Amino acid sequence: MMHNLQGIISKCTYNALTQWERLGYVANNFSNLNTKGYKSERFEQYLTEDGYLKGAIRTDFRQGSLQVTSNPYDIAIDGQGFIPVFSKTGEVAYTRDGAMKQGKDGYLVTTDGWIVGNGIKIPSNAYRFEIKPNGEVFAYEKGNPKGKKLGTIPLVVFDNPEGLDLKDMNKLVPTDESGEPRLVKKHERIVQNQIENSNVSLFGSVTDMLRLNASMLASTKMMKVIDEMYNKSINIRE
């Protein structure tokens, strides 16, 4: 009897901790509701044969809604793919966050200073620049309507994007599970003056948090009931 009660308490405790872990991912999604290009993570639960809750982390790479902006540095990927970016120390990462800017040295960079692609420098005398759907960047000077090609924003894909590892500032790095990046040579997926919103569902996140809260309360009450039964069993034996 006491052995069974100890097993139930152990399972309830473990399952409650698993629910807390899942709540952490839901809360992280909720906090990134307004993060451009963010992809929500989900904690898929399943029950093992011995009654323990387990979970697997999955990333939802469905595209977020595209928002029109007045900023020519804003770009969105309409479809699959990621933009390679490079840090000043040579690190390589990939992102769908297209909120770009012009760095101090004139290069197109991310909001935290990572260089986009192989380095695209926008001349100081250009009165406007254009990013075409295939990623080609052109600058236009006064009196020259033809424009000058500055470079191309590359686009890559992965065989298994769910295997990518999420790092700081909404950047992703490849793993053995994701495979190596493959360059998309011909495409028309890049849109200027638009930005991709997070694909987190506000109502879905709130619903998940309410369900998890109810589930954890039920687990806590169950543990309290079992603990009282366990203490009574000990008193009976004594």
Q: Is the pLDDT of residue 238 over 60?
A: no
Q: Is the pLDDT of residue 227 over 90?
A: no
Mean pLDDT of 5-16: 68
Q: Is the pLDDT of residue 52 over 90?
A: no
First and final C-alpha spacing in the chain: 15
Residues 131 and 139: their CA atoms lie apart, in Å, by 9
Q: Tell me which amino acid residue 90 is.
A: G
The secondary structure of the chain as a DSSP string is -HHHHHHHHHHHHHHHHHHHHHHHHHHHHHHTTTSTT---EEEEEEE-TTS-EEEEEEE--PPPPEEE-S-TTBEEESSS-BEEEE-TTS-EEEE---BEEE-TTSBEEETTSPEETT--BPPTT-SEEEE-TTSEEEEEETTEEEEEEEEE---EE-S-GGGPEE-GGG-EE--TTT---EE--S---EEETEEEPP---HHHHHHHHHHHHHHHHHHHHHHHHHHHHHHHHHHHH-
Q: What is residue 48's predicted lDDT score, i.e. its pLDDT? A: 72
Q: Which of 71-80, 141-150, 163-172, 200-209 has the highest mean pLDDT?
A: 71-80
Q: What is residue 153's predicted lDDT score, i.e. its pLDDT? A: 97
The pLDDT tens digits of the residues spanning 135-184 come to: 999 999 887 778 899 999 999 999 999 999 988 888 999 999 999 999 99
Residues 8 and 25: their CA atoms lie apart, in Å, by 26
What pTM value is reported for the model?
A: 0.78
Residues sharing a CB contact under 8 Å with residue 109, sequence separation 6 or more, in sequence order: 100, 101, 102, 103, 115, 116
Quickly tell me which residue has 């543990």 as its tokens.
Answer: 223
Quickly tell me which residue has 């804003």 as its tokens.
Answer: 74
- 16 with 8: CB under 8 angstroms? no
